[in-house]
Chains A and B, each alone.
Chain A
């Protein structure tokens, strides 16, 4: 089965840039989506189709995807960005959806 690997945690100072990676075999050939989940809340879609933002998501959030790694970038990090982030793809070989292991972003 397809596996997506994320770093367990990322720490960043306010105003700086956070980068969260998502590793998977030839992930660059898939569409990657990203979700933000705050404690006790449902996930929220923040990036879809590698680098598109749903309405209401700040431009500070962006994504990229190439080779074996997809990346979610959060510019000018704010305290409110502190959350768990998950990458997500559809694996066509199994017709299954797969979530990454999740990354906890801590704002220092």
Chain B
């Protein structure tokens, strides 16, 4: 079965960086676009970034463009999100999700919490 497991979250000071990872298993990782979605405490879902199956195309939400970088290593079945210049408003649970045709996200990880606080 499809499994997505995020890691790398934690408490970090404003202005610092983190690298989030999403380990995928149970499917052919290299054949799927992948996404990061975040959810601030008590708030709704916000799409953050996506990357094509071969890593050649990447798109970002305006709120994170220039600060976050999405990447993937298909040999390791792993998705990454480098989050830089963190702000208190970046505090959220970050989910990775598998994208399928038509634009829906059919499988999600359980999320990793990033808390930005001094």
Contacts and interface: CB of A to CB of B under 8 A. Distances in A.
A35 B45 contact: yes
Interface residues of A, number: 26
A72 to B, nearest CB: 13
- Interface residue range, chain B: 20 to 34
B108 A54 contact: no
B95 interface: yes
Contacts of A101: 44
Contacts of B100: 48
Interface in B79-118: 95, 100, 102-106, 108-111
Given A1-B62, A86-B44, A97 B103 contact: yes
Contacts of A13: none
B44 A97 contact: no
A88 B104 contact: yes
Given A1-B62, A97-B35, A54 B47 contact: no
Interface string B41-53: 0001111001000
B104 A33 contact: yes
Contacts of A1: 62
Nearest to B62: A1
Contact of B106 (A48, A89, A97, A100): A48
Interface in A39-54: 41-45, 48-49, 54
